[in-house]
Structures are given as structure tokens and as C-alpha cells.
């Protein structure tokens, strides 16, 4: 960890985690992990207006703390501002910075058994089984592991190729105990994230099918680089959460090929492609089958002679679903609404 590559991002995630904990204590309210994750998501949405994100190496303290406090107060109206000033001189920010430096073994009063704190709200880690199992607590990656396996580069800690690394957690007695692997095949395939949105029976039926999508035909071994990215997974999750918010029943099923899962919406002819192998991930959470027709975004942009495949954001994926359902969808240029209808049908 001594090289510090990527350490800034983990520090910002640590500040986010501790600020939400502070808001819990300040208001006396329960802020469940789902709400805390939404606060973290809203931070990125706010920062995206400036062309940045929490993970962006250009992000300054002022923009971070402003987005963090605004997102907390939006989610928890009774919460007061966590920070007194949105600058590096803020007393709480400075205290958190000192705490973080002690945790990772840098600066004065560094811990002997240094470890990298991992926030359960960090989107790079929040959908991993080991992290989910520790709830709202921090998980830790020991400094010794980072040094031996990552050559001190924390920026590589979340890479799937290092999923064998063990994460730790602080128990009730304040002792560090082993929590589980940094990544499982279920994590890499997106199953851990999707599991909360399907029944136990459905999970058992699709589990191996989804994992087999990462199998290298040359070696018959799982290659986690073959699974789709977190960005693609977020689109599918957004669609499932929208169905749940609408109170609609659906069933998660195997699709045609290994690695492909779909959600079939009850009492309709509609199906949503949920997962794809990496090379086709632009279609995951971005394509709806409606009684033989395909509803998706298109673009005039070309890649060579072919039209490019547009990769929507999670919010755009939800708009696509609503459009396919016949709901009015607001145009992004703010002019008016697009009625829910199919402007173009493409046969499968």
C-alpha cells in the first residue's frame, strides 16, 4: 500500500461511509444499507453534472463534500449538514483523514496491522457476497496482502483476477477475523447482485447457467474477464427495481446461451435481457423483447460500416422499460414527452 496508487478513491469512500454513520447518530434514524447505497449513487449522479464521479482522480474535496451532504439531506430530510465547511480544513474531514491514514499504516500513530478499509456502499465492492454479508460495517484488505499480491497498488484491489484475496472484518471484541474471499464466481457473474431480485428457486435454476457464461472453451475454466461489467449490471438492476416499484411480478429464467439470463414480466409478452457475456454486454439491461419485437435505443454513430450499439445509463434503461410499457417518457432535451409506443420494430 506504500505506493498509494488508488488510495485517494478509497479514502473518499471511507469519508462517505463515516458521514452516513454520522447522519445515523445525528438523527437517531435507521438508514438501511439500501438507502445508504442510494445516497452513494446520488453522489455520482450529482457529480456527473460536472463530468466527474467519486472514483475520478480529479475530484476535489469541495465537490466531494458538497455532493455528499446534499445527497444525505435529500435522502434524510431531518439530517443537518454533516460538514461545517466544504473544504479540506473542515474539522470532521481532517479527523477522518487522520483516522484513514492510521488504518492504512501511513502517517503518525499508524496501526501495526495496517489494512485498507472497504466501504459496503462502494459500487466496486457493494455487490460482492463477502461485503454484503458484513452489512453496514467496513471490510478490510490487509496491507500485507496488498503488498504481496498487488505490489502495493490499491487501484488493483477490486480487479476480478485477485478475487482469491481474503477480506477481514472487526468482530464484537474489536479483533480482526477473516470474512471471506474478495470475489466469488457468483460475484463476477452478477448473480450476487441479482440474487435479491429473484426467488431462491430461480437462483438455483439459473446459477450455473450464468457462471458457465464465463467459461473459456479452450480450458473449460472460468475466466472472470468474460463476465459483463458493473455498468451493464447496474442497468439490469435498475429495470428490476422499477418492476418491483410498479408492483409487477416477473420470473428470472435462463435465456438462449450460457451467460444469458432474462426476466419475463407476468401477464405480458415482454422479456428483459439481464445478463450477457462481456463481448455483448451492451445488450444487457438495454433490450426488451415485446411479443417478437425488440425495443432498444439506436444511434446514428457508426463503427466502421456498422451502426454502433448504444449503452444506456441505468436511468435511460428505466425509461426504455417505461416506453415499452406504453408510458410517456420525458425527452432528455426537455422539449416534451415521447408517448409510449414503438417507433421501430426489429424482428428477432
322, 329 in Cβ contact below 8 A?
A: yes
pLDDT per residue as tens digits for the range 261-280:
999 999 999 999 999 999 99
What percent of the chain has a predicted confidence (pLDDT) above 90? 80
300, 310 in Cβ contact below 8 A?
A: no
Model pLDDT, residue 214: 94
Q: Return d(Cα 172, Cα 151) in angstroms, integer.
A: 31
Q: Return d(Cα 251, Cα 331) in angstroms, integer.
A: 30
Tell me which of 343 and 201 has the higher pLDDT: 201
The 10 Å CB-count burial string (b at 16+, else e) for 203-225 is: beebbebbbebbbeeeeeebebe
Bridge partners of 293? 290, 347
What percent of the chain has a predicted confidence (pLDDT) above 70? 93
Q: How confident is the model at residue 298 (pLDDT cuts 50, 70, 90)?
A: confident
Model pLDDT, residue 336: 57
pLDDT per residue as tens digits for the range 121-132:
999 999 999 999
pLDDT per residue as tens digits for the range 212-248:
999 999 999 999 989 999 889 999 999 999 999 999 9
Model pLDDT, residue 342: 42
211 pLDDT exceeds 80?
A: yes
Model pLDDT, residue 272: 97
pLDDT per residue as tens digits for the range 58-87:
999 999 999 999 999 999 999 999 999 999
Average pLDDT, integer, range 293-318: 85
The structure's pTM equals 0.80
Q: How confident is the model at residue 113 (pLDDT cuts 50, 70, 90)?
A: confident
Average pLDDT, integer, range 312-317: 92
Alpha-helical runs (H) found in 28-81: 33-48, 61-75
Q: Return d(Cα 158, Cα 311) in angstroms, integer.
A: 23
331 pLDDT exceeds 90?
A: no
Phi, psi of 44 (to 5 degrees): -65, -40
Mean pLDDT, the chain, integer:
91
335 pLDDT exceeds 90?
A: no
Strands (E), the chain: 115-118, 139-142, 166-170, 176-181, 215-216, 221-222, 250-254, 261-265, 270-275, 287-290, 293-296, 302-303, 306-307, 329-330, 337-338, 346-347
Residues whose CB is less than 8 angstroms from the CB of residue 266 and which lie 6 or more positions away in sequence, other chains included: 248, 249, 250, 251
297 pLDDT exceeds 80?
A: yes
Q: How confident is the model at residue 1 (pLDDT cuts 50, 70, 90)?
A: low
Model pLDDT, residue 181: 96
Tell me which of 329 and 211 has the higher pLDDT: 211
Q: How confident is the model at residue 302 (pLDDT cuts 50, 70, 90)?
A: confident
Model pLDDT, residue 343: 39
Residues whose CB is less than 8 angstroms from the CB of residue 255 and which lie 6 or more positions away in sequence, other chains included: 261, 262, 273
Model pLDDT, residue 311: 86
Residues in the chain, overall count: 348
Residues whose CB is less than 8 angstroms from the CB of residue 215 and which lie 6 or more positions away in sequence, other chains included: 221, 222, 223, 226, 258
Model pLDDT, residue 338: 56
158, 116 in Cβ contact below 8 A?
A: no
Model pLDDT, residue 337: 55
103, 13 in Cβ contact below 8 A?
A: no
Q: Return d(Cα 84, Cα 81) in angstroms, integer.
A: 7
End-to-end CA distance of the chain: 50
Q: How confident is the model at residue 347 (pLDDT cuts 50, 70, 90)?
A: very low
Amino acid at each position: 500500500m506504500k505506493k498509494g496508487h488508488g488510495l485517494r478513491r478509497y479514502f473518499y469512500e471511507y469519508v462517505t461511509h463515516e458521514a452516513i454513520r454520522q447522519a445515523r447518530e445525528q438523527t437517531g434514524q435507521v438508514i438501511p444499507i439500501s438507502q445508504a447505497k442510494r445516497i452513494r449513487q446520488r453522489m455520482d449522479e450529482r457529480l456527473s453534472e460536472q463530468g466527474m464521479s467519486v472514483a475520478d482522480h480529479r475530484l476535489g474535496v469541495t465537490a466531494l463534500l458538497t455532493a455528499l451532504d446534499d445527497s444525505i439531506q435529500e435522502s434524510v430530510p431531518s439530517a443537518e449538514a454533516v460538514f461545517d465547511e466544504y473544504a479540506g480544513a473542515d474539522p470532521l474531514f481532517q479527523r477522518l483523514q487522520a483516522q484513514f491514514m492510521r488504518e492504512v499504516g501511513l502517517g503518525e500513530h499508524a496501526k501495526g496491522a495496517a489494512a485498507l478499509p472497504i466501504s459496503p456502499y462502494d459500487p466496486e465492492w457493494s455487490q460482492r457476497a463477502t461485503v454484503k454479508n458484513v452489512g453496514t460495517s467496513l471490510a478490510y484488505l490487509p496491507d500485507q496482502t496488498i503488498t504481496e499480491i498487488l505490489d502495493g497498488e490499491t487501484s488493483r484491489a477490486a480487479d476480478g483476477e485477485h478475487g482469491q484475496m481474503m477480506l477481514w472484518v472487526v468482530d464484537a471484541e474489536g479483533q480482526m477475523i477473516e470474512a471471506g474471499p474478495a470475489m466469488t464466481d457468483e460475484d463476477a457473474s452478477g448473480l450476487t447482485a441479482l440474487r435479491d431480485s429473484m426467488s431462491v428457486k430461480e437462483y438455483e435454476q439459473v446459477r450455473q447457467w450464468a457462471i458457465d457464461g464465463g467459461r473459456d472453451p479452450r480450458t473449460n475454466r472460468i475466466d472472470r474477464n468474460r463476465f459483463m461489467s458493473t455498468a451493464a449490471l447496474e442497468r439490469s438492476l435498475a429495470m428490476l427495481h422499477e418492476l418491483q416499484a410498479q408492483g409487477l411480478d416477473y420470473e428470472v429464467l435462463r435465456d438462449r446461451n450460457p451467460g444469458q439470463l432474462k426476466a419475463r414480466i407476468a401477464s405480458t409478452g415482454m422479456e428483459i435481457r439481464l445478463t450477457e457475456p462481456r463481448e455483448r454486454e451492451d445488450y444487457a439491461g438495454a433490450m426488451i423483447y415485446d411479443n417478437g419485437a425488440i425495443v432498444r435505443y439506436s444511434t446514428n454513430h457508426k463503427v466502421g460500416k456498422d451502426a454502433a450499439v448504444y449503452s444506456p445509463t441505468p436511468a435511460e434503461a428505466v425509461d426504455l422499460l417505461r416506453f415499452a410499457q406504453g408510458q410517456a417518457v420525458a425527452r432528455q432535451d426537455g422539449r416534451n414527452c415521447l408517448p409510449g409506443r414503438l417507433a421501430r420494430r426489429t424482428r428477432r
